[in-house]
Chains A and B, each alone.
Chain A
Amino acid sequence: MNLSPLDTAIFLVLGLFGVGFYALLIVRHLIKLVIALQILVKAAVVALAAAGAASGKLELGASLALSVIVVDTVVAVVALALALQVRKHFGTLDVSELGTLRG
């Protein structure tokens, strides 16, 4: 079977999507959660680039992918800054300890 990059894109996106969301459900370490988010962002980048290619507008998809990388890097930075602050005040990065607000 001859798979083109576009066909593998679907497989890749779904795989990363699954891994990322599984991690968000299971992982308790805040920094690792940010890593999971980054994995999801990879899925989005791949999806956009591939979608651009699929619709014959490679440069459009690539441009979107670029923007996503930039934006989500900022989000990651913000998340890490928050994580440091959490570490300082909660003494841990276990998000299960961040469960004081409930009910």
Chain B
Amino acid sequence: MLAGELTVLTIALPWFGALCIWLGGNKAPRLTERAAVAFSVFAALASGALIPFATNQVVLRIPVGGVFGEFTFVPDGLGILLACIATGIGSLAVIFSLDSMRGEKELARYYALVLLFIGAMAGLVLTGSLLLLFFFWELVAFCSYALISFHNDDPKAVAGGIKALVITQIGGVGLAVGVLLTYAQLGSYEFDALLRHSAQMPREILGIIAFGFLLAALAKSAQVPFHTWLPDAMEAPTPVSALIHAATMVNAGIYLLARFYPAFVNVPAWTTTVMAIGMLSALLAALMALTANDLKRVLAYSTISQLGYMVFAVGVGATLASQFHLLSHAVFKALLFLAAGAVIHLTGTRALAQLGGLSERMPFVRNAFVLGALALAGVPLLNGFWSKELILEAGAQNAGMAAFILLLFGVSITALYATRVTWLVFWAPPRETNKVASSNGHSRPKEIGDAPRAMRIALGVLVGATFTSWLLIGGVSEMFARTLTLANVHVLTLFEMMAEIFLTPLTWIALGAVGFGVWLWTARERFANVRASWQFVTRAAENSFGFEWLNAQVVRATMGAAARLRVTQTGQLNWNMVGIVGGFVLVLAVLMMRW
């Protein structure tokens, strides 16, 4: 059977490439680049070749022994879809890097980490063992940390990387606890064991597992209140941002929720919580995207918002819709990030105030970005439209009209900020464009022209995919229905989907909301008064609705405690002896006490 070999290849090819590149060092940058492209593209091909072999059986089993169980791999529909996204978008990011990272120092470290990242993500979605899932989960966190702080000389980059690491690891504790409890209850790390025997577990324990997994997913997918790491992760080189937002990191959380939804669906309050948090993230992040003044931050908030839709969709039980939107989002967000990366690379800044008037100077990038923005806004015939409509429909059906109206509000704001950012970058009168202030100190100001070749290739492929990825619905749904027997997915052919979407009035209402959002931007002058009265919202959004503050408080409290505790290390021998005698008194007293 070929499935096992292909699974291994999908994970091992990028890792092997990472090892080779790491060992090769920085001596031959060209060779490094080529090797990186080759390994990532081959990994993408391997994962694509897995599609026909989709199965819900274990294809590879490595016994580890002791309390570590067996490491297994199960390439089912969900896993293969995400593996294809990870390797496919990942290889496009690598290709894009050829131009955008050229001339950087330490390319070997960069490409090695990117390949490690891609491989780890592929492993995460293809494994069938909870422990191995946790392995990859942590490894992905590590890669994101290392790549976000790739420019180690920039303290902001370092801080962003460590923030991402710590926040996602805190979520990881939830996953760890869930996995540990599952193992304690079932004596197995198999996904199948958890999915099939969840009903037999004591309810409280299943509840802890469910919410532990949810915690992990929320931290990883940057959902409220753990979203604060994602905007700070913007210090990463732009292809890495594309990788994190579209291909690897944040998708893991959605994947986890979708994967274990059948096990947790009956846990009281679980689905409601998932829905509520998804909705909250979708709306709050959209508002934050509306007020952000940094091109990459806008896109980052937009990711949080779109992931919110997916989380919501999982919450209402629309697994297929959520994963389908994940696919669309991966494509158009990668497109947006890479296009933004081209803008940043070519202008040397990412402050919206310094951008503008680039429409004529870089038509190719402009077209790509506009397409991405349209897909994000949900304009018909682009992939974002179809998947978003599926989510809206599922929301209206399963969560009621109130939820649908809230979602519509989000849709309008999405259209609004998508329009705003596009206009500000390409059509706004150039304000400080040519006073190129290098925002992170490593890109060089240069003649502003259109994108070079490797960038064009990557962007071109993504533009094509933005137009076409929705055509895959039939195949994806068939694969899901065949291999995810517990997820209750039905085959949805392309024509069924089209009919379903065009025949429901909800779609037209949603389109109205999109139009309304776009119109709001064009008519923004007229609403100056309204904007003034809504200022408290915008100000709150600018301050991340207090979550950054909360975050900072936690950090400050920990650091303060650490600083205060250092006083106890007096360096005085006599005080050290106080510790010993005091410890003795305490221990003896505790032991002597009658309990």
Chain B residues lying within 8 Å of A95, measured Cβ to Cβ, are 572-574
- From A8-16, A22-30, A45-53, A66-74, the one touching the partner chain is A22-30
Closest to B581 in A: A21
Q: Does B570 contact A (CB under 8 A)?
A: yes
Q: In the bound complex, do residue B571 and residue A25 qualify as a contact, i.e. CB atoms below 8 Å apart?
A: no
Chain B positions 576 through 595: 1 when the CB is less than 8 Å from some CB of chain A, otherwise 0: 01100100000000000000
Interface size on B, residues (CB 8 A): 11
The answer, yes or no, to whether A99 is at the interface (CB within 8 Å) is yes
Residue of A nearest to B574 (CB): A25
Q: Of all chain A residues, which has the CB nearest B563?
A: A103
A80 CB → nearest B CB, Å: 16
A103 → B minimal CB distance (Å): 4
Chain B minimum-CB-distance residue to A95: B573
Question: Of A26, A101, A102, A103, which contacts B574 at CB under 8 A?
Answer: A26
CA distance A99 to B581 in the complex (A): 20
In B189-227, the 8 Å CB interface with A consists of none
Specify which of A26, A28, A33, A103 is in contact with B571 (CB 8 Å cutoff). A103
Q: Does A55 touch B at the CB level, under 8 Å?
A: no
Contact B571 A21 (CB under 8 A): no
Given contacts A21-B581, A25-B581, contact A102 B573 (CB under 8 A): no
- The answer to whether B566 has its CB under 8 Å from any CB of chain A is yes
Q: Which residues of A are found within 8 Å of B574, using beta-carbon distances? A: 24-28, 95-96
Q: Mark B550-579, 1 if CB is under 8 A from A, else 0.
A: 000000000000000011011111100110
Please measure, in the bound complex, the distance between the C-alpha atom of A33 and the C-alpha atom of B574, giving whole angstroms: 10
State how many angstroms separate the Cβ of B266 from the closest Cβ of chain A: 53
Give the distance in Å from the alpha carbon of A21 to the alpha carbon of B581 in the complex: 8
Q: What's the minimum C-beta distance from A89 to chain B, rounded to whole angstroms?
A: 16
Contact at B569–A99, with CB atoms within 8 Å?
A: no
Provide the bound-state CA to CA distance between A24 and B579, in Å: 12
Q: Which of B569, B577, B581 contacts A102 (CB 8 A)?
A: B569
Q: Answer whether residue A4 sits at the interface, using C-beta atoms and an 8 A cutoff.
A: no
Could you say which residues of chain A place their CB within 8 Å of the CB of B577?
Answer: 21, 24-25
Considering the chains assembled together, what is the distance between the CA atoms of A24 and B582 in angstroms? 13
Chain B residues within an 8 Å CB radius of A21: 577, 581
Q: Which residues of A (17-46) have their CB < 8 Å from a CB of B? A: 21, 24-28, 33
CB atoms of B571 and A100 under 8 A apart = yes
Assembled-state Cα–Cα distance A16/B299 (Å): 73
Complex Cα spacing A25 to B578, Å: 6
Contact yes or no, B570 A99, CB < 8 A = yes
Smallest CB–CB gap between B155 and chain A, Å? 23
**Does the CB pair B571–A101 fall under 8 Å?**
yes
CB neighbours (8 Å) of B571 from chain A are: 98-103
Per-residue 0/1 for B314-325: is the Cβ within 8 Å of any A Cβ (1 yes, 0 no)?
Answer: 000000000000
How far apart are the CA atoms of A102 and B573 in the complex, in Å?
11
**Smallest CB separation, B89 vs chain A (Å):** 47
In the complex, which residues of chain B have a beta carbon less than 8 angstroms from the beta carbon of A103?
566-567, 569, 571
Contacts of B569 in A (CB 8 A): 102-103
> How far is A22 from B351 in the complex, measured between Cα atoms in Å?
66
Query: A33: which B residues are within 8 A, CB to CB?
Result: 573
Contact A98 B581 (CB under 8 A): no
Complex Cα gap A98–B571 (Å): 7
**Distance of A91 Cα from B229 Cα, bound (Å):** 53
A30 closest partner in B (C-beta) = B573
8 Å CB interface, A49-95 against B: 95
A-chain residues with CB within 8 Å of residue B567 when the two chains form the complex? 103
Residues of chain A within 8 A of B570, CB atoms compared: 99, 102
For A24, the chain B residues whose CB sits under 8 A away are 574, 577, 581
Q: How far is the CB of B274 from chain A (nearest CB, A)?
A: 45
Give residues 352-407 of B contacting A (CB, 8 Å): none
By a CB distance below 8 angstroms, the chain B residues around A96 are 572, 574
Q: Name the distance in Å between A85's Cβ and chain B's nearest Cβ.
A: 16
28 contacts between A and B (CB under 8 A): A21-B577, A21-B581, A24-B577, A24-B581, A25-B574, A25-B577, A25-B578, A25-B581, A27-B574, A28-B574, A33-B573, A95-B574, A96-B572, A96-B574, A98-B571, A98-B573, A99-B570, A99-B571, A100-B571, A101-B571, A102-B566, A102-B569, A102-B570, A102-B572, A103-B566, A103-B567, A103-B569, A103-B571
Known A24-B574, A98-B573, A102-B571; further 17 A-B contacts with Cβ < 8 A = A21-B577, A21-B581, A24-B577, A24-B581, A25-B578, A27-B574, A28-B574, A96-B572, A96-B574, A98-B571, A99-B570, A99-B571, A99-B572, A100-B571, A102-B569, A103-B569, A103-B571
The 10 closest A-B pairs by CB, nearest first: A102-B571, A99-B571, A103-B566, A95-B573, A24-B577, A101-B571, A99-B572, A25-B577, A103-B569, A21-B581
Instruction: List residues of chain B with CB under 8 Å of any chain A CB.
Output: 566-567, 569-574, 577-578, 581
